[in-house]
Amino acid sequence: MRPFSIWPARYLKGRVDLPGDKSIAHRAVIFSALASGSTSVGNFPINDDCLATLKAFRLLGVRITLKKTRVVIYGKGPFGLKKPGGPIYLAESGTSLRLLLGVLAGQSFSVKLTAGRSLSKRPMARVTVPLRKMGATITSRKSAGEEFPPITVRGGRLTGIAYKIPVASAQVKSAILLAGLYAKGKTRVIERVVTRDHTERMLGIFKGRKLKSPCKIYIPGDISSAAFFMVAGAIVPGSEILIKDVGLNPTRSGVVKVLKRMSADLKVKNLKLRSRNCEPLGDILIKSSRLRGVRVTKNEVPSLIDELPILMVAASLAKGRSVFEGIGELRVKETDRIRSMIDNLRKMGADIRLKGRESIVINGVKPLRGASVKSFGDHRTAMSMVVAGLASAGSTRIDDVSCISKSFPEFLKAINSLKK
């Protein structure tokens, strides 16, 4: 347990340089490991989740070097992976586990994947069902009609499928596409709502099934991490923050669109539509703003699923009513983020309530008040409460912020550098 207390800021001012995008980093490691040739990955984020993916591929026989934020992966080719000496532990990284299932479905050996306490409670049938349809043999822990880690996957001769994803999930889509690299025939994924397309872009720069290394990849700053600074800059009076080199993939930038609809004083500068890894990036300048309530629809949620907790903080301090629809997927993240955010924000005086099981209604209030809140072991809940504390009356105490290392170990240091 690592408790943390934060007091309101007079204002926030300065520049933020972000760690690389976590979602892109996972995929860069995976494709580089399966490609021919070595790949140098720049601005690699040093967090618990991405390190779990590095460790997994080292256990599968891939040589990987790490120096500061640069990783070099010496590809083994699609069939060069080796059976590990024992189970692969993926800690709390859901992306590592789900995407690795897709890779292992096409191998000639079996592997057991184990997980930490939180990840062991997250649903996995959404991935295992289509992979079985393709020909993989998968066993898992079953309970109440759902599947959970630990999971053992034995690769097989896979056959391509056309699969309509029942739940909007880039992780599920990516696992199927990765398995499709090993499948006979065409693999097609049909989405009801478009989800983040990092895997499709990565397939493009690795030349599809050829999996030829592009030699170098640069990972733009993580927009999910940037969101905390966007909201902080908007809700703390007198603030002005420049966030450098943020990934602005259209399937991920819903948070920017929503904040603009809330009347945030937010500008995108130096936009580069094609960077060194075919991911658009740019700088974001955010200034203190008079936010207004907003409606976020179910179809928008996949483009900002990870940013919903911090947007709830913004809505709590916005003028008028905000509604977040179709957010049930938040219940199966590292924690039930719907419950964690409602519990915490109510303690701070927010007018927030659940409507049905999948919608939240927030009526904006005057400054929140400091309170003792909980992270629930969830990094995004913890960081959201830190930002809420910056704009609250009195001090806010968070019971445990150690979970922040899952995605952004330097977050508190970055916040402190901006406080005035």
CB under 8 Å to 88, separation ≥6 — which residues?
55, 56, 59, 60, 100, 111, 112, 113, 114
Other Cβ atoms closer than 10 A to 362: 27
For residue 413, count CB atoms less than 10 angstroms from its CB and return exposed for 0-12, middle for 13-18, buried for 19 or more: exposed
Bridge pairing between strands 146-154 and 110-114: antiparallel
- Here the tokens at position 182 are 């090993």
Which residues are identified as catalytic? 306
- List the beta bridge partners of residue 38: 74
The per-residue b/e assignment along 238-269, b for 16 or more CB within 10 angstroms, e otherwise, is: ebebbbbbbbbbeebbbbbbbbeebbbbbebe
CA distances (Å), 64 to each of 35, 57, 141, 220, 403, in order?
13, 8, 32, 21, 26
Report the distance separating Cα 340 and Cα 259, nearest Å: 22
Other Cβ atoms closer than 10 A to 209: 11
Report the distance separating Cα 177 and Cα 130, nearest Å: 11
Report the distance separating Cα 128 and Cα 175, nearest Å: 9
**CB–CB of 55/66 below 8 Å?**
no
**CB–CB of 366/349 below 8 Å?**
no
